[in-house]
Amino acid sequence: VKGKILISSFQIIVLVRPSYDVHLPDSWTNWTDWLGIIDVSSWASFGWPAGCVSFLTQLVVTSLAPWLFIAIASLACIVRRLMASPSNEKENAMKCGLLDSTLAFFAITFLCITGVSQTIFSSFS
């Protein structure tokens, strides 16, 4: 629980400036700029030069990237369970694999929701 609170606090610190156009003292921003690596939504546009992608494309990719990560994690959990189970228990193994993937689902949505929200809110400004 403490880790969840810590990550939430970091996400709020990183996203308060761009989301709400808040001007903070330089002493504060110099200290918090390194926390930007926690913004998982920026990883979705990794490898694209800035300005080469339209805002709509950036919005779609940023919004769909967490779902892609969740699908990959779910598929990995299901395959892992299927590989470890005997051939007569494949249906049960698939259910257990989906159950295993719920942790990945919650972790990915928890890490990505602030960045996706920030991208959506920036479309209104």
Query: How far apart are alpha carbons 80 and 59 in whole angstroms?
Result: 32
For residue 91, how far is the Cα from the chain centroid? 30
What was the pLDDT predicted at 89?
A: 86
* 70 CB neighbour count, 10 Å cutoff: 18
Quick check: 27 pLDDT over 90?
no
Convert the pLDDT of each residue in 91-125 to its tens digit.
888 889 989 999 888 888 777 777 777 777 766 66
Convert the pLDDT of each residue in 44-98 to its tens digit.
556 666 667 777 777 787 778 888 888 999 999 999 999 988 888 888 888 899 8
* pTM exceeds 0.85: no
